[in-house]
Amino acid sequence: MGKTLQFTLNGTPVTLEVDAERTLLWVLRTDLALTGAKYGCGEGLCGACTVLVDDEALPACQITIGEVAGREIQTIEGLARNGALHPLQEAFAAVDALQCGFCTPGMILKAYGLLISNPQPSRAEIVAGLDDNLCRCGAHLRIIHAVEIAAAAMKGGRS
Amino acid sequence: MKRSGPRETPTPRDPMADTAAGLTRRSFLKRMGLMGGGLVVYLTIGDGAGTAMARAPRQGFLGAKVPSDFNAFLRIGADNRVTCFVGKIEMGQGPITSFAQMMAEEMDVPYASVDVVMGDTDLCPWDAGTWGSLSTRYYGIFVKEAASEAKGVLKSLAAEKFSVPVDRLQTEKGTIFDTRQPSRRVSYGELTAGKLIERHLETLPPLKQHTAYTISGRPHLRRDARVKVTGEALYAADMRLPQMRYARILRPPAHGARLLTVNTAAAEALPEVEVVRDDDLVAVLHPRPDGAAEALASVKATFDLPKTGIDDRTIFEHLLQKAPPAAVAAEAGDLAKGAQASVTLLEETYLNSYVAHAPMEPHAALATVAGGRATVWASTQSPFSVQREVAGALGLPDDKVRVITPFVGGGFGGKSASAQAVEAARLSQRVGRPVMVAWTREEEFFFDTFRPAAVVKIRSGLDAAGRMTLWDYKVYFAGRRGCENFYTIPHHREAVHGEWRMAPGIHPFDVGPWRAPAANTNVYARDLHLHLMASLAGQDPLAFRLNHLEDARMRRVLEAAADRFGWTALKSPSGKGYGIACGIDAETYVAAMAEVAVNPDSGHIDVKRVVCAQDMGQVVNPQGATIQMEGCITMGLGYALSEEIRFSDGRLRDRNFDTYAIPRFSWLPRIETVIVPNPDLPPKGGGEPAIICMGGVLASAVYDATGAKVRQLPMTPARVKAALEAVG
Ligand code: FES
Ligand code: FES
């Protein structure tokens, strides 16, 4: 069952001895102790588990670890650099774009994926881009605002 | 009803039956040990008559076991940091910020020097649970009193140190100085360093006046934002311990199902799997959660399935049949006379459906039970109840169980019940290792304590002058909160048949408190009905309310909402799609106005705009209060438009977000909030009130847009279309 897989995780190469059929979310959370990606539904319906795979925001509960072999994964833990928050993180904190915070890592990565493919999204594009990510606390308004602020700060760059 | 499946928890003991517990001196010392030694001023109060108030146990349900000794609430470190201990938990409503503000304000220490420890039964003073918008309203007073007394004792210590009378001293930013010689100055940390001091204070210092506030009443950003945006914030399911096991538990397919046979042979044959059977609890354990899921999938079980004939359509008849006699919440005049005085009568029945809490974080708990002690990290709103339940299930004394509440990923009332903690503790006791029980989304829906389905019947009358003469209000199973009548109606009666709590034989599954319990249903029915009454009277719905309203606070919030909204007089249905609702919740007054458009072909409601005005007395954190209003409005779109649990014979049809639709970005209206200032009133609730208007304001707006009376929430497209067809 164990198979040696290699991928890049938050910029660092990783080699894992693991069953390729296992779900990325559980490998991240359990084997790699990165608990920033959350379990919210397990069915690709809530976005709490969102990570970036080769710059595309995807639900980690719907991906096997085998599928990410050779690819680049970014989780919320890898977003801040040397203690400096990413502009999206800054913006979320600056406008209180969160309450319980459980949806927050997924929201930020979903927004990051959006901004990588569309650096200056309109409000309607932000709404459409984030619509599959659920937030029960109702932080939506402020999340949109945070993404607008971050987009302006990033000026089309990645940070 | 009898619960099926492995979900029995010990019968909760009456919390009031216990003797006053709380933190004793011994537990302060224990806390010092837990926190790595401590430089704590142990402050005690003397026996003088002036201190009797502080020494008397807190009265009533909310405060009965909250220690009156303020040491329970704070610790001053040699580094001048102040730690504030509260039994409440942080699930998003922001008390972690407002408690720090209150503590810093009353103690005169910098806001940034306060740390807040919440929901840890070993470290924090007892609390009944985080619900009911009570954190600031009630618990906040305890925190402020503790801070104020601590400051008084520190001043008396400084007075001795400087050999000057206390009244010559002043406090400022965590220091005390001599007003005649300001260079004579000592910090709180220096005063307390390395000493355990027991000090008596003869009289309680008064709390600050709000006009003197510099920290409370000012907007503060969430202090937990940084850890939440970096992923460092830990929730119960993120906890890890060496040798821990992830459990999955065999669940019945329907409520009321009985386990007949179970075969775990295939699971036992899997590597690393451990199967536990403990009475009704059948669980598989594995070092990884996905391994446990795989093992559970291999367990074969048969169940005896119930045939109740009750589903989400027949439930309302069932509820009416089973309704207990009325508890009369209020009445005046004589209903028969009111009916006689009426020239127009309107009688309507309104229905509300079962609604799930559906926090983004499902219930989770990690328990480790060993050597006659248990520690449980639980996603809960009630750590002290969990402590008692776990102790009961394990046969341990309460004080051998420590419950630690990490960040909670939303609760809304749904985590007042925390059966997962008992499950994890039982399993850990059995296998002698730490065990994590993290519910799946399906389990979260299945075992939710739903907001109950409910029926409201209203019979009301108007006289020839268009004044309300009669208000005969009956609410079944939603509960009393929010049913009160604050309008001037000579003959009225509010009858409450059944509360929102579990009632044997009534609901097909568990029910419980859901953000502003009962009020959402009551305000929906009342405000839609009032809108229809205004329409019958040929009056503008806002003017109609004001004509019947003497309560100045309610008039003010209505007028504030109207002002922001730009309300113009209309006769409904005007086609504009304007709605109104208002009410009182957690002693806060709230009014909302909305604009909707209804698609006649699809029945879809587009909410364009919601304005909400709220008078919540003093506001500790205006930023946090505004965010709670926005959150309530957004969340409230769900129960108004889409959320309902569909079921039959105890089986749920809605078990994930594919069919249970909660509000999304694309549903957002323009949201505007107004806080109506009322600083002379002590703080009132803020986490719930703004949600109570959402059903009523949108239902009345739909009527105004189309003339359709949607008599059941949620207003799904199908119900809207049916109501539109009835208009013709
Ligand atoms: S947990 Fe992956 S989308 Fe919900
Ligand atoms: S902040 Fe709680 S779910 Fe989004």
- A123 and A66 in one domain? no
Q: How many CB atoms lie within 10 A of CB B141?
A: 16
- A101 and A66 in one domain? no
User: What is d(CA B401, CA B379) in angstroms, rounded to the nearest whole number?
Assistant: 16
**Exposure class string for B560-578: b at 16+ Cβ within 10 A, else e:** bbbeebebeebebbbeebb
In-domain check, residue A124 = yes
pLDDT (0 to 100) of residue B196: 56
For ligand 1, the distance from its centroid to the CA atom of residue B718, given in whole angstroms, is 29
Question: Distance from CA of residue A28 to its chain's centroid?
Answer: 12
**Exposure class string for A86-98: b at 16+ Cβ within 10 A, else e:** bbbbbbbbbbbbb
Q: Which domains does chain B have, with CATH numbers?
A: 25-223 (3.30.365.10), 244-305+358-446 (3.30.365.10), 323-354+450-726 (3.30.365.10)
Query: Which residue positions in chain B have pLDDT lower than 70?
Result: 1-70, 132-135, 194-200, 202
- A71 and A34 in one domain? yes
Contact B668 A101 (CB under 8 A): no
Q: Which amino acid is at B205?
A: P
User: What is d(CA B1, CA B619) in angstroms, rounded to the nearest whole number?
Assistant: 42
pLDDT (0 to 100) of residue B94: 85
- DSSP string spanning B87-118? S---SSS-HHHHHHHHHHHHHT--GGGEEEEE
Measured in angstroms, the CA of B92 and the nearest CA of chain A are apart by 4
- DSSP string spanning B596-657? EEE-TTT--EEEEEEEEEEE-SS-S-HHHHHHHHHHHHHHHHHHHHT----EETTEES--ST
- For ligand 1, whether the C-beta of A66 sits within 6 Å is no
Query: What CATH number did the domain enclosing A41 receive?
Result: 3.10.20.30
- A72 and A6 in one domain? yes
Ligand 2 site residues, Cβ closer than 6 angstroms: A 98-103, 135-137, 139; B 92, 360, 410
Angle, nearest 10°, between helix axes A104-117 and A87-94? Answer: 130
- Helix residue ranges, H only, B298-418: 315-322, 335-341, 383-394
Measured in angstroms, the CA of A17 and the nearest CA of chain B are apart by 15
Q: Is B238 on the interface with A (CB under 8 A)?
A: yes
Number of folded domains that form chain A: 2
In-domain check, residue A134 = yes
- Neighbouring residues of A24: CB distance < 8 A, sequence distance ≥ 6: A51, A60, A61, A63, A64, A65, A67, A68, A73
pLDDT-derived band at A114 (thresholds 50, 70, 90) equals very high
Ligand lying nearest the CA atom of residue B627:
2
For ligand 2, the distance from its centroid to the CA atom of residue B310, given in whole angstroms, is 34
The dihedrals phi and psi of A29, each to the nearest 5 degrees, come to -75, -35
Total beta-carbon pairs less than 8 A apart between chain A and chain B: 175
Residue that is written with structure tokens 């690819």 in the block: A71
User: What is d(CA B654, CA B647) in angstroms, rounded to the nearest whole number?
Assistant: 8
Closest CA to B702 of B515, B471, B694: B694
- DSSP string spanning B689-725? GGGTTHHHHHHHHHHHHH-----EES--HHHHHHHHH
Asked whether this complex has an ipTM greater than 0.95, the answer is yes
Cβ-contact B224, B90 below 8 angstroms: yes
The dihedrals phi and psi of B130, each to the nearest 5 degrees, come to -95, 100
User: What is d(CA B428, CA B412) in angstroms, rounded to the nearest whole number?
Assistant: 28
In-domain check, residue A159 = no
**Exposure class string for B229-255: b at 16+ Cβ within 10 A, else e:** bbbebebbbbbebeebbbbbbbbbebb
- For the stretch B542-546, contacts whose Cβ atoms lie closer than 8 Å and that sit 24 or more positions apart, written own/partner, are B542/B567, B542/B569, B542/B580, B543/B569, B544/B466, B545/B487, B545/B580, B545/B582
Cβ-contact B362, B438 below 8 angstroms: yes
Question: Distance from CA of residue B178 to its chain's centroid?
Answer: 45
User: What is d(CA B570, CA B595) in angstroms, rounded to the nearest whole number?
Assistant: 13
Q: What is the 3-state secondary structure (H, E, C) of B269-313?
A: HCCCCEEEEECCEEEEEECCHHHHHHHHHCCEEEEECCCCCCECC
- For ligand 1, whether the C-beta of A49 sits within 6 Å is yes
In-domain check, residue A32 = yes
Collapsing DSSP to helix, strand or coil, B200 comes out as coil
- Neighbouring residues of B515: CB distance < 8 A, sequence distance ≥ 6: B357, B412, B413, B632, B635, B687, B688, B691
Closest CA to B630 of B582, B564, B690: B690
In-domain check, residue A69 = yes
Contact A137 B635 (CB under 8 A): yes
Domain boundary among A36, A52, A78: A78
The dihedrals phi and psi of B332, each to the nearest 5 degrees, come to -155, 155
- A95 and A54 in one domain? no
DSSP state of B204: P
Domain boundary among A78, A105, A134: A78
The string of pLDDT tens digits covering residues A55-77 is: 999 999 999 999 999 999 999 99
Contact A93 B226 (CB under 8 A): yes
- A91 and A73 in one domain? no
Range of the structural domain that residue A28 is part of: 2-78
Q: What is the pTM of this model?
A: 0.92
Contact A85 B412 (CB under 8 A): no
Structure tokens at B466: 């268009």
Q: Would you state the torsion angle of the CA atoms of residues B405, B231, B665, B659, taken in this order, to the nearest 10 degrees?
A: -60
Query: What CATH number did the domain enclosing A114 receive?
Result: 1.10.150.120
Say which of B91, B246, B623 has its CB closest to residue A100: B91
Length of chain B: 728
Cβ-contact B728, B557 below 8 angstroms: no
In-domain check, residue A16 = yes
- Residues of A with Cβ-Cβ distance to B409 under 8 angstroms: 38, 100-102
- Neighbouring residues of B205: CB distance < 8 A, sequence distance ≥ 6: B148, B149, B151, B152
B290 HSE (CA, 13 A, CB side): 20
For ligand 2, the distance from its centroid to the CA atom of residue A48, given in whole angstroms, is 9
In-domain check, residue A35 = yes
User: What is d(CA B116, CA B223) in angstroms, rounded to the nearest whole number?
Assistant: 10
- Neighbouring residues of A99: CB distance < 8 A, sequence distance ≥ 6: A137, A138, A139, B92, B93, B94, B222, B410, B627, B631
- Residues of B with Cβ-Cβ distance to A111 under 8 angstroms: none
Contact A101 B228 (CB under 8 A): yes
- A47 and A23 in one domain? yes
Contact B94 A102 (CB under 8 A): no
Collapsing DSSP to helix, strand or coil, B684 comes out as coil
User: What is d(CA B467, CA B490) in angstroms, rounded to the nearest whole number?
Assistant: 10
Question: Distance from CA of residue B640 to its chain's centroid?
Answer: 19
- A72 and A29 in one domain? yes
User: What is d(CA B19, CA B280) in angstroms, rounded to the nearest whole number?
Assistant: 33
- A118 and A97 in one domain? yes
Contact B409 A101 (CB under 8 A): yes
* Probe site for chain B from A73, A96, A98, A112 (most B CB atoms < 10 A): A96
pLDDT (0 to 100) of residue B30: 60
Residue nearest to atom 4 of ligand 2 (CA): A135
Cβ-contact B650, B256 below 8 angstroms: yes
User: What is d(CA B347, CA B596) in angstroms, rounded to the nearest whole number?
Assistant: 25
**Side by side, which strands form the sheet with B605-615?**
B578-585, B588-598, B605-615, B670-675
- A91 and A74 in one domain? no
Say which of B230, B662, B671 has its CB closest to residue A136: B662
Cβ-contact B692, B583 below 8 angstroms: yes
- A70 and A9 in one domain? yes
Closest CA to B207 of B298, B121, B105, B307: B105
Cβ-contact B338, B491 below 8 angstroms: yes
The string of pLDDT tens digits covering residues A24-55 is: 999 999 999 999 999 999 999 999 999 999 99
Q: What is the 3-state secondary structure (H, E, C) of chain A?
A: CEEEEEEEECCEEEEEEEECCCEHHHHHHHHCCCCCCCCCCCCCCCCCCEEEECCEEEEHHHCECHHHCCCEEECHHHCCECCECCHHHHHHHHCCCCCCCCCHHHHHHHHHHHHHHCCCCCHHHHHHHHCCCCCCCCCHHHHHHHHHHHHHHHCCCCC
Collapsing DSSP to helix, strand or coil, B1 comes out as coil
- For ligand 1, whether the C-beta of A47 sits within 6 Å is yes
- A98 and A72 in one domain? no
The dihedrals phi and psi of B446, each to the nearest 5 degrees, come to -60, -40
Structure tokens at B6: 């492995």
Q: Which amino acid is at A7?
A: F
